[in-house]
Structures are given as C-alpha cells and as structure tokens.
Structure 1
C-alpha cells in the first residue's frame, strides 16, 4: 500500500542522489499550444540534474489514436522505460522544469504500470538549484534494467467509464482546467473543441494547488480546496496532464487511489453526442 507524502524535497534528493537504487527522471513537458521556442527535451538537454534521463510523454504514448500522449500498453511502456535505465527495485524521483505538469503525469504513469516507489521533486529543477544542487548538460548513458509491469487499471478511466460515472454519480469528477474553460466562458486551446465540462463534475483548477515558488501547497492548505476526499474520485483536464497534478495533490491528502481520465476533455468534447454542461457546477 502506498502511503506518506508523494513528494520529496530537494534537500532529501541532494542527500540521497548517490544511493545506488535512486533514479532521477526529468519529465519536462511544454504544452504545444503555448508555442514556446524550446521543447521539454531541449530544456533537459540544456540543463538537468546529474544523471537524470528524459521521459517524453509525447514519445512514450499509445499509437493508433489522434488523442495526445495516451497511456501506452504495458509491453511498449516496459520496453521504453527499460532503455532509460528505469526498472524494478529503483526509487524513482521525477521532476520537471515547467509547473510540475510532466512530473505528475509520469508519476501517475509509473504507478499505473505497478511501480510504487516513485516520488515527485517538490519545486522541480529550481528547488534543486536553490539548495545548491549541481546541474549538467551531458546526457547520461543509462544501463538497461528490467521493468515488470503490473497494471493498475483502477487508476485510469476511459470514456465509457466516464459516461457511467457522470450519469450514475458514482464518483466525484474533479476538473483541473481553468474555471473559465470549465464554465464555458473561455475557449479551449485546442482548435475545434467547445469549452464546458462533463455533467456532474466540479472545478478545482490545478493552478490553485501550488504556491508562488512552484512547490505544491501543504496538506493543510490543500484540504479546503476539495470536497470529501474519502469517496471515489476521478480527475480530468484538457488531455490528462494537469489531471495528474490533481491526483498528486490528493495523494498528499492521503487518497492514493484517485483515477485519471486519460482522454480527458480532448476526447469527451470531440464527440458531439456527449453532453456538455456550462456554467457553475
């Protein structure tokens, strides 16, 4: 059973980074609709924590779908992470250089595939630099390691399950997008998608979960933002990335069994036959 805090401090990592079982993963991901000059991989290439490999959620993804960075099957996932030197018996620390998005997504993906000993570096690369951690720009040469996938299907939901959850009100559905996208007042960044929300869901923007330094808020500060966290919960967002940030926050509050709707709003709103609610929850 997973317990404790899903995040570690930069000071903890500095004190433990030399341990033979610790693997550091840079999961920096830049949303493509931001039209930034650099990709997450380029940022990693320019500067990363010593020994950190780069996990690209747009490369380690399911094929045969137009939906972005969908969870791959366990065979493909195991093959790709093995080549990164990530495997059984590792203590994995994931970080990123942009708002915790990629780190939380990779944290969730590894847990779906059955790896329990995975944490997120609170505050990302900047927190590491702030405690005097060294950086490098040389890519590491990882040694391939066996990864045994034991899929936890309870941590991921598909659209059929979401329809049932929405209609049957069996779960609290938490939407991590901005409030104005949730209410339908602002357009979606992905062209052609209407805004609004899955009927029955509530709005808790992922931007509310971190403080000014980019670190996640404490459990005491997070608790008032959510409804009853002991009941079954599903998180959703635009494409399944910031939903993982919400799942990370809920794990900090003690609920490690939160599911993420992988296709999220990109999938739900792409079919005009699915109901879309607007306004407040």
Structure 2
C-alpha cells in the first residue's frame, strides 16, 4: 500500500504471480524521437511476462488535444482498464521494457484514478529474465472487471496551477529533462518547441535516479539527490512521462503526494505568453 515501497522485486513477483488478485501490466513505450524499430505493443507481443496485458499510454489518453498521452477522464479510463481485466480489489504490478519510463507513468495514472495497491517492477522485464522468469508471446484473454475511479486531483497539475506555484514559490518544481534542454543550450526533440525551463524550477534528470542496470536507486542514494524530499512538489518533463519517474523516486522516500504536470514542457512552451527561463538551475 502507499506507506510501503512503491516497487517490488522480480523475486517477489515470481512468488506471487499466480495469486488470484495479482494483475501484471506491460507499459512499454518508446519515445517517438528515438525512432525505434518497433512500438511498445510490438515489443510486448514478441515476449512478455505470462498473463500480462498491454497498457498503451498513447491509446488510453484524453481526446480533443494535440498534446501527447494526456490523462483521460475517469469514465474513459475506467472503461479501458476494465477491458484489460484491471479492477477493484486487484494488486497491480506494472513493468516495461525501456528504463521503466512508462511503467512509472501508468503507476501514477492508476493512482490518480484512486488505485492504491499498484507497484512497479524494479528493473522491468530484464530483471524478470535475470531472475529466471519465463516469457510468453500469446496475448492473455482478460476477464472484464469493475473499476471504480476515485480521482485524486491533487496528484495532477495543469499549466495555470504550475504558473501559480512558480510565481508564489509554493512548491518545489522538479524538471526531469536533461540539463542541456533545461538550460536552453540543447534543442527540444519536438520541432519548433523552444527549450529552457519553468522559472523557479530545478533540474534533476530522471536518468540519474536509476542504477546502471535500470533499477531505481536505493532510498539512501536517492536522498542525496533531493534537498527536501518531503516538500510539496510538482514534477515535470517533456510530455509527462519521465516526470512520473521522479514521483516514483520520491514515493520511495516517503512523499506519496508529488503531483505531475501532465502537459509538461510540451504544453508550457507551446504558449508564448508563458515565461521561459534559460541557464542552469
């Protein structure tokens, strides 16, 4: 639950995967600017943890916006996850095959929608393989299950709320992008989008939260990266994915109330009326 570690080990999953209330979710997603040869769904279809369903953040998203994978409304979200066999009373374990970017994002989405018993598989699919876990390539046949959405609006922020927090200094605003994009010295991967950062924010790249084998760093290691882990915090990034990795890391340190700026830099920088700071934090 939410006072425990937000991650589980592959060894734990091996021991508990056959429990009737455990649901395993593959959230593999590759940033489009990497031009990967396959999609997350294709990676899942080629080999996944037995029984795992595929959660596509580019499909389970809000409509009516050109911003990528924005959080959908609770009715749409509930409808989609029910069809995946995810519902009330489940213990949900989310993993992915690419540095747990999107598994952290799906962990956050489920928590926004009121799910408390959801965790991330530390090290993702590779950790499962390293632990001797088997793979399958057959899609499961999920049984639809009722999902009750109880939205936690405190875990998601919009542009106006972030602007207010920036001006008032009421929250620590952590930017998960690279230092070069944060400072404005490197271009954004999205054409036409200026680089820089939200005034008053600090840069803590999400990549620095991982070990070389793509596990989340220990609590002791993470504490050295955050000046005040328990401060009211808003996490942001390029499009709201790696920002969730920061929220996951702070949850490991006991701060379960970190909000994610869903539109993140893609939304912020697309409006020329919003202030953009340059230079190092």
Map of 2:188 onto structure 1: 188
Give the whole-Å Cα distance in 1 for the aligned partners of 2:82 and 2:90: 12
1:87 deviates by 0.2
Map of 1:254 onto structure 2: 254
Give the whole-Å Cα distance in 2 for the aligned partners of 1:227 and 1:243: 17
Map of 2:197 onto structure 1: 197
Q: CA RMSD for the aligned pairs?
A: 0.6
Map of 2:208 onto structure 1: 208
SS in 1 for 2:92: strand
Q: Residues 6-55 of structure 1, C-alpha deviation per residue, up to 9 Å, x if partnerless?
A: 00000000000000000000000001111111000000000000000000
Map of 2:150 onto structure 1: 150
Give the whole-Å Cα distance in 2 for the aligned partners of 1:207 and 1:186: 17
* TM-score (normalised: structure 1): 0.99
Map of 1:172 onto structure 2: 172
SS in 2 for 1:174: strand
Give structure 2 stretches of 5+ with no counterpart.
none
Map of 1:7 onto structure 2: 7
Give the whole-Å Cα distance in 2 for the aligned partners of 1:227 and 1:161: 23
1:118 deviates by 0.1
State how 1:230-245 maps to structure 2 within 5 Å. 230-245=230-245
* Number of aligned positions between the proteins: 281
Q: Does 1:17 align with 2:14?
A: no
1:2 deviates by 1.6
SS in 2 for 1:180: helix
Give the whole-Å Cα distance in 2 for the aligned partners of 1:79 and 1:239: 24
Give the whole-Å Cα distance in 2 for the aligned partners of 1:10 and 1:229: 27
Give the whole-Å Cα distance in 2 for the aligned partners of 1:9 and 1:101: 17
SS in 2 for 1:13: helix
Give the whole-Å Cα distance in 1 for the aligned partners of 2:242 and 2:262: 11
Q: Does 1:137 align with 2:121?
A: no
1:141 deviates by 0.3
1:4 deviates by 1.1
Map of 1:99 onto structure 2: 99
Runs of 4+ in 1 over 6 A off after TM superposition: none
Give the whole-Å Cα distance in 2 for the aligned partners of 1:2 and 1:132: 28
SS in 2 for 1:225: coil
Map of 1:56 onto structure 2: 56
Give the whole-Å Cα distance in 1 for the aligned partners of 2:259 and 2:218: 21
1:229 deviates by 1.5
Map of 2:81 onto structure 1: 81
Give the whole-Å Cα distance in 2 for the aligned partners of 1:124 and 1:230: 26
Map of 1:26 onto structure 2: 26
